[in-house]
Amino acid sequence: MIFETIGKTGHEEVVFCHNQDAGLKAIIAIHNTVLGPALGGLRMWPYKSEQDALNDVLRLSRGMTYKNAVAGLNLGGGKAVIIGDPSKDKSEALFRAFGRFVNSLNGRYITAEDVGIDVNDMEYVFRETEYVTGVHQVHGGSGDPSPFTAYGTLQGLMAALNFKHGNEDVGKYSYAVQGAGHVGSEFIKLLREQGAKVFVTDINKDSVQRCVDELGCEAVGLDEIYDVDADVYSPCALGGTLNEQTIDRIKAKIICGAANNQLATDAIGDELQRRGVLYAPDYAVNAGGVMNVSLEIDGYNRERAMRMMRTIYYNLGRIFEISKTQDVPTYKAADRLAEERIEAIGKIKLPHMGNGGTRFAGRMRGQ
């Protein structure tokens, strides 16, 4: 049934990667390369089944097509997943074996960090292929993308506040932040620097405690986060938290966070629009990380990366205006913005077939 599935989702290529000696079971999904090579992160997760892993990589890679298109990048969408527990299944051999599969695609897919992966893991992948972003600064890379994703999320938040309330005074409002991992904790720091009241929850109690002790946040339970009387709900963990069970509990009039795939279904996005809740589409908000690592292709520059983050503010403004003038939910407005760009460029470009001038200037690979 896989050809039927990818026929519906529009994927160009799905690669199943297996190396028994290294314990590697991975899937690489390339959704669309009209705008350029497919860029998207590598996720490591203990999926309950191979079907769950396939469903996740197909969904996430499609999301990357839209994210990269809205962000204005000359990149398509792809994603990779490794089936395994990141707390105990990592090894040099595992990631180097994965790197060889990435290299075999000859530049059609460029990988990066995602959930369960850190810059040290990327170092091993980088030993086998140059088609890696987010590598350590010592190699001329950009390093951890989390601070940029968080800063980009702040730009999206400011656009949402301006559209909803006519001001960008972040510190004037209260926030229910779900997730205090790499990105969530960086986002919380930015909120607290502006004096905002922040409620926080995370599955990792130590992460929550650090936010309380070091940043002055108020801790709430995992399930209680939906009932907090906050102005903004910020999902910054795994996706699907906006669903039939939670939307009646969320009091916030703005939803803006760094998590992927926040809407469990499109119908939830429709309902939020009906209720007058401003939803900032996730892939437009959290594009800061991919914007940052994309600069490695032409030679990384941190100042240029920070300037790029500001485009998230303007992109969200365009999405909100499309939503208003065309009377469609914001998630549909974001999709339209992405699809229009892909269609326009698609008339003058064929899909990226690999090794077409991808450069990675200024980087050095060690053996």
Task: Annotate the chain with three-state secondary structure.
Answer: CHHHHHHHHCCCEEEEEEECCCCEEEEEEEEECCCCCEECCEEEECCCCHHHHHHHHHHHHHHHHHHHHHCCCCCEEEEEEEECCCCCCCCHHHHHHHHHHHHHCCCCEEECECCCCCHHHHHHHHCCCCCECCCCHHHCCCCCCHHHHHHHHHHHHHHHHHHHHCCCCHHHCEEEEECCCHHHHHHHHHHHHCCCEEEEECCCHHHHHHHHHHHCCEECCCCHHHHCCCCEEEECCCCCCECCCCCCCCCCCEECCCCCCCECCHHHHHHHHHCCCEECCHHHHCCHHHHHHHHHHCCCCHHHHHHHHHHHHHHHHHHHHHHHHHCCCHHHHHHHHHHHHHHHHHCCCCCCCCCCCCCCCCCCCCC
Residue closest to 156 by CA, chosen among 261, 283, 275, 252: 283
Verify whether residue 79 is a known catalytic residue.
yes
Q: Is 289 annotated as a binding residue?
A: no
The single residue of 67, 79, 164, 332 carrying the catalytic annotation is 79
Q: Is 180 annotated as a binding residue?
A: yes
Instruction: Work out the end-to-end distance of the chain between its first and last CA atoms, rounded to an integer number of angstroms.
Output: 41
- Partners of 288 in the beta sheet? none
Q: Is 183 annotated as a binding residue?
A: yes
Q: Is 182 annotated as a binding residue?
A: yes
Q: Is 184 annotated as a binding residue?
A: yes
Rounded to 10°, the helix 205-215/182-193 angle is 20
CB 185 within 8 A of CB 241: no
In angstroms, the CA 42 to CA 80 distance is: 5
CB atoms within 10 A of CB 85: 11
In angstroms, the CA 281 to CA 316 distance is: 8
Structure tokens at 228: 């907090």
Known binding positions for NAD(+) = 179-184
Known binding positions = 179-184
Q: Would you name the residues annotated as active-site residues?
A: 79
